[in-house]
């Protein structure tokens, strides 16, 4: 059924259709509307049986989900930003124990300085926590990815993070097609846990493992994630068959035929990028886009294949590793490491800075002529940072950079 | 369930890890000798029969008790209970009232008509001379061992000193009669008024294979007191014996008893009951030095008996005696002071101890007599093979309980001797001293005091002074037992082991250690209430 | 007066078992078929109070729930010594997630069971004092506040033992740990049972490994209450406290008998019963046998500090009415 609703609401509707049995809720912008909506749905009795647990922190949210999942319940929670970091320890635990929890992350910057707006720093910081990370391009995909995520998580007995851009998607009203319950039920069978806490068959979950077996345990976790790389396209295909539209998968190419330059990105920026590429194509540019849907596990082969014809790659990403540069770009480089082509890294949209078509077009045009630094910060106020750096050199002092920037701006 | 490798494990799988290898100390169950058992002159397994009494199985308790001592109702009245003096509970609050429980069991047996089990006769005949406590005890044990026993008693009734020395306000005769009858019911032949004068001839004529002598000591000792013609001078044994006859002794209104033993008290208290207005004990030392038991003195004082401490009788006149005051020297011995006083009295009873009548032993070769006592070996046999002796006629403490113990011991040696073997006593464990216990575990429970007859009736009648405990009180008292040194299946070791390394084998079967897992922490030993576990260094 | 049967049973309920008591009133630990929920072969130190307390409590809970029990365990000694790969000592469904989240994991399990209509299966969360009073405190408080159907059991050995005896907020004044080498300071302390009561949860109780029957009765009671419950069990640690392995129970007994550790139960924030001291003892009886308090007695006797500890004990006695009038 087509609905004109907010992204958060769309996600909540999708989650509810997946019949989660335990939902943990803790408020943090910009995911708050999702759990609010779910709370409403549970209260209305539409989603039953379901326990909606108002927890005292994100750490508790993930912990409650761990307990619920281990006891055989389909468990869900949502978070963002600082909240994701606050549950970091539990994230590793959930994946280590192989518990198929699904969590929405409404992507947001990480402080300090505190900033509630969108970028990918939060989930990028947790890229190695053992969760599968799927990125939604738009609200329809955000909705659809949750249905896929539960299927995938329970098939693999691994937790899945559905990443959607905070505010840009969560707070955007768009038309979405909300599937009906029968469709979702057909795609997503009831949870049949791989292991369960059950008095009828007692087990000890979460043993202490020493050097004699820890390597093997970690290798098996790695192997399981690699296994996901073949399952994810399969379940995306099944989704296409069942629902009649594309969602998920590992990576999707857009106008990459005969493209010399391919722009790689994750999430909602793909929309703007596609528009920009359309315009560049009109002016004869041989440029295309590769949208990565699955960031963890990293789809080496799919990316390599999609970039096979490119002479250069531009990675537009909403996050960075301080002191290194791009994160996604480094992953791209490892995927195509046998081919010595430039991989330009465009860090963009940090802390909610708008990514405009104009700016993108400008930077892509420079890239197409190989007139670009390997790492670029899109729309950076170069004069300002130079001034700060100059001052820094003059007056050696400690203290937060943010305040100094504000002072100079003011 | 498809358990993830290493992360999820099968329940209880740690049994594969044998932590017993950590152990440097090893717990072991032990059985120690409880102080009550150790102190009992009759060798009763007190703790053992208390165990049954604790459960309310009084017949089982009585049966175990009477394996050692056939006279519990009597013991429960006349024994001076060294078991209670030794009882570890005394260090906690008050000793367990073992004597009261014994009496309860004895009375219960009489009430319920419990009988001893008979053994098949083995063809040997034993003659027992004397039907006092030691003779009856020997006869009983011999009979239970399958021997044909004949008891010869010089007096008109069986019981010896229990009947002719102990007043009936302490031991009612129906109780004594019932216990003697039950012993005789084992098929023992009792011949009364049958004094043995020539032992070897009797032995030969009766075809006896062995003899046990238990004739006691009932000749009152005399002391030289210059006396006038009309003063009545009596000895305590005769006075007490005549209490069992038709006519009570004539003692007068004012009676002086000379001596400081339990017999002196018995006579003084008897005199009071016979109507004496004054019953005075003259004793040469102090209360602290008095050999009589303090509780008996206390009872006597309550009844109005008076005592002249540090006094000796120098002379007896027509109706008075001359008493010299004494003082104790540095060694605690009484010394004359030269101070005198006169005491009006109608009679003087001498309670200065008893001698043994050794007449029947004349002409028995090898038999040795020393200081008026018959000498015996460790197996209770006299110098004459096949003739054994016990009780007051052999050296040792002269109490009913000791006598009963002698009878038992002699019977076991006679039995062995008749089978040409030697009786070996089962070795007993190390003493279960108080410091081995963990007394915290025992419920607080003060001793139950036996009821006493009110004073007026005690001064005028021969009704029993001390009453018995009812069933509930006896049960309570039995449950005060600490079971020193012997497992009483409290499950503490089974419970407190952090490694589940104690196996409970079921009621009555105690426990065993599972050394596969026992780490040797010693909690079981430390928390064993009764000290029945010891830790020993583990050998390599 | 109605007839009163003899109510004296030699050791009464002080010992683990008592053949004189009717079978139905005997302890769970006395039972030959007790579950041994924490089985042999675990790697706890010799004389470990926590291993003992855990088996006491979980066996009792198993008994009360007819073996329908799931436990979540915080990181700590209990977790490490019971489940080193490839062996576990637990015979019950058990999960270890993290140090600070046992209460929340238990909440999740309880929520799952509720959804599945398995109200017959009960949930326990357990941890040491570090996992309870420090790092797990927030999750515990949240679980209390929501009144989740979980019994949380804290095995309090008064420091971080697994990591080598460091101070926790449950470490008592003057106790020496690896991070309080001069002896712990006299702080305000963190009285977790009292804090639990402040949440107004249906049931809060304290117990020691020295009083099994009391402990079992409290677990039994707790398992018959729905909602959040808290049981704080005093467990001695021979290694961390420096007392001989065979003294673990005695030390716990002394903690109670001196008044230092009040044993009580409370419902909805109100104290409803108190286990009286049998024979009040001075705190020195408790302090002296433990090496962690050795500096109070040598090289000089710190009468000032001992007096302050005694004051604390006396305050407990007054506050809870620990002595029979």
A222-225 long-range contacts, CB within 8 A, separation 24+: A224/A98, A224/A156, A224/A157, A224/A158, A225/A130, A225/A132, A225/A158, A225/A296, A225/A297
pLDDT in tens, B159-201: 999 999 899 999 999 999 999 999 999 999 999 999 998 899 9
Across chain A, mean pLDDT equals 96
What integer is the mean pLDDT of A53-75?
A: 98
The verdict on B11 touching C (C-beta cutoff 8 Å) is yes
**Could you give the CA distance from residue C17 to residue A296 in angstroms, rounded to a whole number?**
58
* Contacts within 8 Å (CB) and 24+ apart, B112-117: B112/B59, B114/B59, B114/B62, B114/B63, B115/B182, B115/B185, B116/B66, B116/B70, B116/B140, B116/B144, B116/B182, B116/B183, B116/B185, B116/B186, B117/B144
DSSP string, B112-142: HT--PPP----S-EEEEE--SHHHHHHHHHH
Instruction: Tell me: pLDDT of B410 over 70.
Output: yes
Asked whether residue C1 is assigned to any structural domain, the reply reads no
Q: Which residues of A touch B10 (CB under 8 A)?
A: 203-204
Q: Identify whether residues B337 and B249 lie together within a single domain.
A: yes
The reported pLDDT for the residue numbered A310 is 97
Residue C146 lies in a domain: yes
C4, part of any domain: no
Q: Please say whether the beta carbons of B332 and B288 come within 8 A.
A: no
For residue B3, being part of any structural domain is answered with no
Summarised one tens digit per residue, pLDDT across range B428-445 is 889 999 999 999 999 887
In-domain check, residue C20: no
Q: Is A220 on the interface with C (CB under 8 A)?
A: no
B43–chain A nearest CA distance, Å = 56
Structure tokens at C321: 């009415």
Residue A81 backbone phi and psi in degrees, to 5? 50, -125
A393-402, B307-316, B355-364, C285-294 — most confident range: C285-294
- Looking at the fold, whether B269 and B387 belong to one and the same domain comes out as no
- Candidates A157, A201, A213; nearest CB to B6: A213
Q: Whose CA is closest to B312, among B270, B255, B350?
A: B350
Residue of chain B minimizing CA distance to C53: B498
The average pLDDT across C44-60 equals 98
Q: Same domain, yes or no, for B67 and B105?
A: yes
Contact with chain A for residue C64, Cβ under 8 A: no
- Tell me which residues of chain B, numbers 34 to 93, contact chain C at a CB-CB cutoff of 8 Å: 54-55
- Banded pLDDT at A353 (limits 50, 70, 90): very high
**Residue found by looking up tokens 């009736």 in the block:** B457
Residues B330 and B376 in one domain: no
Say if residue B144 is in the same domain as residue B93: no
Q: How many domains does chain C have?
A: 1
Closest to B323 measured CA to CA, from B284, B268, B267, B377: B284
Rounded mean pLDDT, A290-313: 97
- pLDDT score at C3: 42
> Could you give the number of structural domains in chain B?
4
Whether residue B264 lies inside any domain: the answer is: yes
- Shortest alpha-carbon distance between residue B19 and chain C (Å): 6
Clarify whether residues B266 and B279 are in a common domain: yes
Instruction: Give domain status of residue B424, yes or no.
Output: no
Average pLDDT, chain B: 93
Quick one: B292 and B344 in the same domain? yes
From the list C14, C20, C88, the residue facing B9 with the nearest CB is: C88
* B517 touches B16 (CB < 8 A): no
Return the pLDDT at C322.
97
Residue B498 lies in a domain: yes
Phi then psi for residue B355, to 5 deg, are -110, 160
Please state the rounded mean pLDDT for residues A398-409: 70
* Predicted-assembly ipTM surpassing the 0.85 threshold: yes
pLDDT value at position C4? 46
Query: CATH number, domain at C94?
Result: 3.40.50.970
* pLDDT confidence band for A410 (50 / 70 / 90): low
**Residue B37 maps to a domain:** no
User: Residue for token digits 């196996």?
Assistant: B503
Q: Model confidence over C183-195: pLDDT tens digits?
A: 999 988 899 999 9
Q: What pLDDT, on a 0 to 100 scale, did the predictor assign at position C1?
A: 32
Same domain, B102 and B132: no
* C6–B contact, CB cutoff 8 A: yes
My answer on whether B266 and B202 are in the same domain is: no
The answer to whether the Cβ–Cβ distance between B6 and A217 falls below 8 Å is yes
**Residue B50 located in a structural domain:** yes
| Contacts B11 to A, Cβ<8 Å | 202-204
Write down the pLDDT at residue B456. 81
C158, pLDDT greater than 80: yes
Q: Does the pLDDT at position C206 exceed 90?
A: yes
Is the CB of C250 inside 8 Å of chain B's CB atoms? yes
pLDDT at position C12: 85
| Residue C285 contacts B, CB cutoff 8 Å | no
At residue C6, the pLDDT reads 56
Least confident of B22-36, B470-484, C90-104, C237-251: B470-484
- Measured in angstroms, the CA of B78 and the nearest CA of chain C are apart by 27
Residues B269 and B322 occupy one common structural domain = yes
Average pLDDT rounded to a whole number, residues B259-264? 92
Q: Which of A56-70, B93-107, B240-254, B519-533 has the lowest mean pLDDT?
A: B240-254
pLDDT classification of B483: cutoffs 50, 70, 90: very high
Give the range of the structural domain holding residue C172, as residue numbers without chain letter.
35-320
C25 found inside a domain: no
Question: Which of B442, B516, B521 lies nearest to residue C46, judging by beta carbons?
Answer: B521
User: Strands A75-79 and A102-107, how do they pair?
Assistant: parallel
Looking at the structure, tell me whether residues B506 and B412 fall in a common domain: no
CATH of the domain at B17: 3.30.70.20
pLDDT of residue A398: 65
Smallest CA-to-CA distance from B382 within B155, B202, B212 is with B212
| pLDDT band with cut points at 50, 70 and 90 for residue A158 | very high
Which residues on chain A are in Cβ contact (under 8 Å) with C97? 63, 66-67, 90, 93, 97, 206
Contact B490 C48 (CB under 8 A): no
The answer to whether A176 touches A44, Cβ cutoff 8 Å, is no
Helix (H) or strand (E) holding A253: strand A251-254
Nearest residue on chain B to C30, alpha-carbon basis: B491
Residues B330 and B244 in one domain: yes
The answer on pLDDT for B82 being more than 70 is yes
**CA gap B331, B312 in Å, rounded:** 18
Predicted confidence band of residue C7 (pLDDT cuts 50, 70, 90): low
Task: Provide the domain limits for residue B22.
Answer: 13-31+487-537
What pLDDT score was predicted for residue A399? 66
- Considering CB atoms only, which of A50, A59, A64 is closest to C108? A64
Average pLDDT over residues A243-264: 96
Taking CA atoms, what residue in B is nearest to C42?
B14
Map out the domains of chain A with their CATH numbers. Answer: 2-190+211-243 (3.40.50.970), 251-379 (3.40.50.920), 382-410 (no CATH)
SS3 state at B63: helix
Give chains near B: 3+ CB pairs under 8 A.
A, C
- Cβ B5–A207 below 8 Å, yes or no? no
B250-270 per-residue burial string, b: 16 or more CB within 10 A, e: under 16: ebbebbbbbbbbbbbbbbbbb
Q: Is B466 within the bounds of a domain? A: yes
Q: Chain A: give the shortest CA distance to residue C59, in Å.
A: 14
**A238 inside 8 A of chain C by CB:** no
Task: Identify the band that residue B316 occupies on the pLDDT scale cut at 50, 70 and 90.
Answer: confident
């Amino acid at each position: 059924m087509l609905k004109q609703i907010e992204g958060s609401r769309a996600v909540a509707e999708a989650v509810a259709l997946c019949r989660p049995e335990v939902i943990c809720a803790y408020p943090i912008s910009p995911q708050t509307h999702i759990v609010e909506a779910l709370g409403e749905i549970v209260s209305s009795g539409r989603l039953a049986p379901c326990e909606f647990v108002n927890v005292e922190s994100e750490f508790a949210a993930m912990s409650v989900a761990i307990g619920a999942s281990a006891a055989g319940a389909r468990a869900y929670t949502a978070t963002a930003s600082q909240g994701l970091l606050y549950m970091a320890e539990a994230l590793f635990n959930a994946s280590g124990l192989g518990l198929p929890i699904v969590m929405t992350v409404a992507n947001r910057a990480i402080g300090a300085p505190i900033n509630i707006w969108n970028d990918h720093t939060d989930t990028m910081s947790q890229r190695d926590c053992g969760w599968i990370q799927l990125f939604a391009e738009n609200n329809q995909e955000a909705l659809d990815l949750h249905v896929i995520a539960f299927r995938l998580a329970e098939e693999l007995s691994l937790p899945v993070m559905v990443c959607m851009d905070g505010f840009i998607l969560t707070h955007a009203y768009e038309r979405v097609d909300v599937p009906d319950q029968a469709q979702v039920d057909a795609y997503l069978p009831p949870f049949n846990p791989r292991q369960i806490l059950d008095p009828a068959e007692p087990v000890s979950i979460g043993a202490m493992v020493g050097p004699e077996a820890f390597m093997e345990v970690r290798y098996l976790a790695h192997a399981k994630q690699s296994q996901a790389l073949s399952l994810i396209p399969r379940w995306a295909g099944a989704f296409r068959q069942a629902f009649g539209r594309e969602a998920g998968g590992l990576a999707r190419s857009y106008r990459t035929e005969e493209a010399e330059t391919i722009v790689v990105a994750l999430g909602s920026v793909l929309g703007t990028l596609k528009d920009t590429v359309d315009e560049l194509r009109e002016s004869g540019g041989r440029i295309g886009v590769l949208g990565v849907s699955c960031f963890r596990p990293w789809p080496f082969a799919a990316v390599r294949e999609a970039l096979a014809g490119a002479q250069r790659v531009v990675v537009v990403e909403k996050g960075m590793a301080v002191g290194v540069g791009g994160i996604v770009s480094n992953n791209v480089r490892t995927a195509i490491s046998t081919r010595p082509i430039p991989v330009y890294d465009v860090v963009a949209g940090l802390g909610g800075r708008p990514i405009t078509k104009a700016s993108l077009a400008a930077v892509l045009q420079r890239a197409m002529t190989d007139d670009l630094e390997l790492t670029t910060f899109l729309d950076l106020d170069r004069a300002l940072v130079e001034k700060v750096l100059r001052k820094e050199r003059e007056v050696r002092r400690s203290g937060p950079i943010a305040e100094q920037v504000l002072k100079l701006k003011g | 369930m498809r358990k993830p490798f290493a992360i999820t494990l099968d329940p209880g799988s740690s049994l594969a890890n044998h932590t017993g290898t950590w152990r440097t100390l090893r717990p072991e169950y032990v059985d120690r000798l409880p102080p009550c058992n150790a102190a009992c002159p009759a060798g009763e397994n007190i703790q053992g029969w208390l165990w049954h009494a604790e459960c309310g199985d009084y017949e089982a308790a009585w049966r175990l008790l009477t394996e050692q001592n056939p006279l519990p109702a009597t013991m429960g009245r006349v024994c001076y209970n060294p078991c209670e003096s030794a009882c570890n509970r005394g260090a906690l609050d008050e000793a367990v009232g073992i004597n009261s429980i014994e009496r309860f069991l004895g009375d219960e047996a009489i009430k319920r008509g419990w009988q001893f089990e008979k053994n098949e006769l083995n063809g040997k005949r034993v003659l027992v001379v004397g039907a006092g406590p030691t003779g009856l005890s020997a006869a009983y044990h011999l009979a239970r061992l399958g021997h044909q026993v004949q008891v010869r008693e010089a007096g008109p009734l069986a019981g010896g000193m229990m009947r002719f020395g102990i007043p009936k306000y302490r031991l009612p005769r129906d109780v004594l009669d019932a216990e003697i009858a039950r012993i005789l019911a084992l098929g023992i032949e009792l011949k009364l008024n049958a004094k043995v004068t020539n032992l070897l001839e009797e032995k030969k004529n009766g075809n006896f294979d062995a003899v046990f002598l238990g004739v006691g000591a009932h000749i009152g000792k005399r002391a030289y007191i210059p006396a006038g013609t009309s003063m009545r001078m009596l000895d305590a044994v005769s006075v007490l014996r005549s209490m069992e006859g038709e006519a009570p002794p004539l003692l007068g209104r004012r009676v002086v008893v000379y001596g400081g033993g339990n017999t002196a008290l018995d006579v003084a208290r008897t005199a009071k009951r016979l109507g004496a207005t004054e019953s005075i004990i003259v004793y040469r030392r102090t209360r602290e030095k008095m050999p009589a038991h303090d509780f008996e003195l206390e009872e006597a004082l309550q009844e109005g008996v008076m005592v002249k401490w540090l006094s000796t009788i120098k002379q007896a006149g027509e109706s008075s005696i001359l008493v010299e005051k004494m003082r104790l020297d540095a060694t605690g011995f009484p010394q004359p002071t030269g101070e005198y006083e006169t005491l009006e009295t109608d009679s003087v009873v001498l309670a200065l101890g008893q001698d043994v009548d050794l007449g029947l032993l004349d002409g028995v070769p090898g038999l040795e007599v020393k200081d008026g006592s018959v000498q015996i070996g460790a197996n209770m046999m006299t110098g004459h093979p096949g003739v054994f002796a016990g009780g007051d006629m052999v050296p040792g403490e002269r109490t009913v309980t000791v006598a009963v113990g002698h009878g038992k011991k002699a019977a076991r040696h006679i039995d062995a001797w008749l089978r040409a073997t030697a009786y070996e006593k089962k070795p007993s464990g190390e003493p279960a001293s108080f410091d081995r216990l963990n007394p915290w575990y025992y419920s607080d429970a003060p001793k139950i005091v036996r009821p006493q007859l009110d004073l007026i009736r005690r001064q005028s009648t021969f009704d029993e002074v001390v009453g018995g405990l009812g069933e509930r009180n006896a049960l309570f008292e039995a449950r005060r037992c600490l079971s020193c040194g012997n497992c009483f299946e409290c499950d503490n070791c089974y419970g407190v082991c952090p490694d589940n390394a104690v196996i409970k084998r079921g009621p009555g079967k105690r426990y065993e250690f599972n050394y596969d897992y026992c780490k040797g922490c010693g909690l079981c030993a430390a928390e064993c209430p009764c000290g029945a576990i010891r830790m020993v260094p583990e050998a390599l | 007066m109605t007839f009163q049967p003899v109510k004296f049973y030699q050791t009464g309920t002080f010992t683990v078992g008592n053949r004189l008591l009717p079978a139905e009133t005997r302890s769970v630990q006395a039972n030959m078929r007790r579950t041994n929920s924490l089985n042999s072969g675990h790697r706890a130190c010799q004389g470990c109070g926590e291993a003992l307390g855990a088996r006491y409590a979980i066996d009792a809970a198993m008994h009360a729930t007819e073996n329908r029990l799931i436990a979540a365990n915080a990181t700590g000694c209990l977790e490490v010594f019971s489940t080193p790969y490839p062996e576990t000592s637990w015979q019950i469904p058990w999960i270890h997630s993290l140090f600070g989240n046992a209460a929340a994991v238990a909440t999740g399990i309880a929520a799952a069971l509720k959804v599945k209509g398995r109200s017959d299966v009960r949930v326990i969360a357990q941890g040491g004092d570090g996992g309870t009073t420090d790092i797990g405190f927030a999750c515990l408080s949240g679980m209390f506040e929501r009144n989740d159907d979980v019994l949380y059991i804290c095995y309090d050995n008064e420091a971080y033992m697994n990591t080598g005896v460091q101070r926790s907020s449950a470490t008592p004044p003057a106790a020496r740990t690896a991070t309080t080498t001069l002896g712990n300071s006299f702080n305000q302390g963190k009285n977790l049972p009292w804090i639990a009561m402040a949440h107004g949860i249906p049931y809060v109780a304290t117990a020691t490994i020295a009083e099994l029957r009391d402990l079992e009765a409290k677990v039994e009671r707790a398992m018959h209450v729905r909602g959040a419950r808290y049981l704080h069990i005093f467990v001695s640690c021979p290694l961390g406290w420096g007392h001989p392995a065979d003294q673990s129970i005695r030390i716990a007994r002394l903690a109670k008998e001196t008044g230092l550790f009040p044993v009580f139960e409370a419902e909805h924030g109100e104290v409803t019963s108190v286990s009286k001291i049998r024979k009040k003892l001075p705190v020195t009886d408790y302090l002296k046998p433990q090496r962690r308090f050795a500096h109070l007695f040598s090289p000089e006797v710190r009468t000032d500090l001992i007096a302050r500890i005694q004051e604390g004990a006396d305050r407990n006695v007054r506050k809870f009415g620990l002595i029979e009038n």
